[in-house]
Amino acid sequence: MENTGTKQITIILVEDHSLMRQGIRNTLEQVPDMEVIGEAEDGQQGVELIEKLKPDIALMDIRLPKLNGIAVVRRIKETAPHTKALMLSAYDDDDYILALMEIGAWGYLLKTTKTDVLIEAIRSVHAGEPVLDPAVAARVARLWASHNIESSGKKTTGQLSSRELEILELAARGLRNKDIATQLNLSVRTVEGHFASIFNKLNLSSRVEAIMYALSQNLIVKET
């Protein structure tokens, strides 16, 4: 692909089905700000390639030969912490999704995701904004509530301001920080500050955790 002069988002694909892998590559190679720098057909090969090339994004399936997606994410968190894992799977298994969020995956999309949504998700994750497929978000929220929140001693949500809840609701609808800022007539820095406050009040560390918490406690409603 021709270099446009701007830094491209570097991506490694980890997918055992060659036709799917090639299709994704062909799609992403048409996007000016993205570059696929490697492919792997199993989890072990994926880990080795990610450790060697240190891409911005590892776009991977969950059910892989040799090492599954969960094991791959655990490994690269230690050896390639700069790389953000974005899962793309045919399965919407609650336990897989929750485990991946807990160990640090940046997003989970289904393979039925439309091309433009996938491209925007890659950009969001690269910008530090986790993504979760709308089809599974509500189910994960319920699982999150029973598995993680009630017994974790998190602070009460009464401390969240109406503005913070408003921002969380927009985030749950898939809006990025710049879009939230535009809709609420705020600066991006102010939105980032509100997220920092939310994380501190709830004793949480990520946007996905905060959204899942708010959904599980019925503090916000996610429109589909």
Domain of 36, CATH number, reads: 3.40.50.2300
Whether 138 is in a domain gets the answer no
The tally of domains found in the chain comes to: 2
160 and 75, same structural domain?
A: no
Task: Give the residue among 207, 203, 220 at the shortest CA–CA distance from 165.
Answer: 220
| Cα 161 to Cα 47: distance, rounded to the nearest angstrom | 42
At 70-125, the pLDDT tens digits run: 889 989 988 999 999 999 887 666 667 767 767 778 888 888 888 998 999 999 89
Joined tokens for residue 141:
């929220």
Q: Is residue 29 part of a domain?
A: yes
Residue 114: inside a domain: yes
CATH of the domain at 159: 1.10.10.10
Distance CA 17, CA 131 (A): 23
> Within a domain: residue 3?
no
Residue 140: C-alpha distances to residues 45, 59, 101, 105, 174 (Å): 30, 21, 10, 14, 15
What is the domain extent for residue 158? 147-216
Q: What is the pLDDT of residue 215?
A: 74
* One domain for residues 111 and 67: yes
Task: Give the C-alpha separation, 140 to 216, whole Å.
Answer: 9
